[in-house]
Structure 1
Amino acid sequence: MRHSAIQLMVGLGNPGPKYTGTRHNAGFWFIEALARREGIDLRSERKFHGVAGRWRAADVDTHLLCPMTYMNHSGRSVAALTQFHRIDPAAILVVHDEIDLPTGVVRLKQGGGHGGHNGLRDIASALGTRDFARLRLGVGHPGHSDQVISYVLHAPGREERAGIDRAIDAAVDVASELARGEWDRAQQQLHTRD
């Protein structure tokens, strides 16, 4: 099955040194890893309220974005870039931490609800649709819903972080397939690695 080529990959997280190593910043870690591997220059872009770059992979021009608006206001940054570059929501991939997946598991998903994730909620609200793709990076669950906020705003242990990093590496491995809209190929590689 062919999907839209991805014109924008958004990594979710919170800006500042206080949050750098926290689970909630897994989306930032993906964008940073992709930029390192591909030699992409990420720069602060005030008009997009974030750090952004451009990646040309297999004749597809893909924008990379890490909103610097804090998680709960990610939609402001995403909407600014998509409006400026006239990017359809179907051509957006949002990369985020996912507590409903075990640490180190990575899954692709098309559309759907926000599952309590405030970054996804704000992006859907800003775009007026939930019909964008998601790359879900498993960070595990603390065990009780009352502990979720504290959990995602703390750093994972060394073994957990290694698992998340392996998932990110696997996702970066299929980033060019995702950019081209080769969803099934990317999904097969990701979902058979567990």
Structure 2
Amino acid sequence: MRLIVGLGNPGAKYERNRHNIGFLAVDEIHRQSSSFAPWRARFQGQVSEGLLGSEKVLLLKPSTFMNESGRAVGEAIRFYKLQPDDVVVIYDELDLPPAKFRMKKGGGHGGHNGLRSITAHIGENYRRLRLGIGHPGEKRLVSNYVLGDFAKADREWLEPLLDEIARHADLLAAGKDSQFSNKLTLALDPEKAKRPARTSTETKSAPSGKPGPKGQSHIRQARQTKTAELPKKGPMAEMLKKLLGNKDAT
């Protein structure tokens, strides 16, 4: 069995917060897979059991506040006799730009109180999916920023990110973190797959006023152009419309 944990704070007051992006991610995994049972209270959290691919998975949203998240995770892994590397924790990351993500296993908590608590209960050898929310620029602004709501404009990157995480969650369940990362990267940045390898001459800057090496302008254009149309309708759009209060969205 695998345990996929989304971090956030419980209650309607916090549900739109940037700090709750982990909750949003596991909610979308739950919504997209018909195999999961309804949410129910257990292990000091909300849980749902189902299948992702051939793997049995328990989704968990701790009902404690963020800085006590480890209590729920610790209870769940002790009950099912799981190892820390059977656990995937999804959480917000200030040091990544919005829409960016990173997968890693082990390491420190980086000042994140949810990770600090989980590490205290089960050690640090668990897997992490860090979802970028950006940084407000100054340390004194961090608390209000992470506990602030996503803006309506954030739907443009938040909706595709959550959708792709859920779409490829079976790879997380199977422990195929590299494949999962590749799928997300190519889905969220489709032009990246089309970029030709840079030659040694292309790494040098062109003289001012002169065209660069053949293909270089094409690479710049590809980097600046987004071709994917974002979804405007469907259950995912409706969920985020409700959370972000976008009454004018279609």
What TM-score, normalized to structure 2?
0.72
How far, CA to CA, are the matches of 1:91 and 1:144 in structure 2?
A: 36
Task: Find the counterpart in structure 1 of residue 176 from structure 2.
Answer: 182
How far, CA to CA, are the matches of 1:87 and 1:106 in structure 2?
A: 26
Task: Find the counterpart in structure 2 of residue 45 from structure 1.
Answer: 41
Residues 1:90 and 2:85 are matched in the alignment: yes
What TM-score, normalized to structure 1?
0.92
Deviation at 1:107, TM superposition (A): 1.9
Task: Find the counterpart in structure 2 of residue 55 from structure 1.
Answer: 50
Task: Find the counterpart in structure 2 of residue 149 from structure 1.
Answer: 143
CA deviations 1:47-71 (Å, max 9, x no partner) are x000001121222111100000010
Deviation at 1:35, TM superposition (A): 0.5
Asked whether the 8 Å contact 2:28–2:162 carries over to 1, the reply is yes
How far, CA to CA, are the matches of 1:118 and 1:161 in structure 2?
A: 26
CA deviations 1:117-136 (Å, max 9, x no partner) are 10001000011x11111111
Asked whether the 8 Å contact 1:89–1:131 carries over to 2, the reply is yes
Asked whether the 8 Å contact 2:5–2:26 carries over to 1, the reply is yes
Task: Find the counterpart in structure 2 of residue 118 from structure 1.
Answer: 113
Asked whether the 8 Å contact 1:174–1:189 carries over to 2, the reply is yes
Deviation at 1:112, TM superposition (A): 1.1
Cα separation, partners in 2 of 1:78 and 1:42, compared to 1, 3 Å: farther
How far, CA to CA, are the matches of 1:162 and 1:49 in structure 2?
A: 33
Please state which structure has a larger fraction of its residues in strand: 1
Letter in 1 for 2:119: A
Task: Find the counterpart in structure 1 of residue 224 from structure 2.
Answer: none
Residues 1:105 and 2:118 are matched in the alignment: no
Q: RMSD over aligned Cα, in angstroms?
A: 1.3
Task: Find the counterpart in structure 1 of residue 246 from structure 2.
Answer: none
Task: Find the counterpart in structure 2 of residue 72 from structure 1.
Answer: 67
Identity, % of aligned positions: 39
Letter in 1 for 2:39: R
How far, CA to CA, are the matches of 2:112 and 2:131 in structure 1?
A: 13
Letter in 1 for 2:124: R
Structure 2 residue runs of 5 or longer lacking an equivalent are: 190-250
Task: Find the counterpart in structure 2 of residue 132 from structure 1.
Answer: 126
Question: Which of 1, 7, 12 lines up with 1:12 in the alignment?
Answer: 7
Task: Find the counterpart in structure 2 of residue 29 from structure 1.
Answer: 24
- Number of residue-to-residue matches in the alignment: 187
Greater RCO (CA < 8 Å, at least 6 residues apart) = 1
Deviation at 1:170, TM superposition (A): 1.6
Deviation at 1:104, TM superposition (A): 1.2
How far, CA to CA, are the matches of 1:78 and 1:50 in structure 2?
A: 9
Deviation at 1:153, TM superposition (A): 0.4
Structure 1 stretch displaced more, 111-120 or 183-192: 183-192
Larger Rg: 2
Letter in 2 for 1:70: F
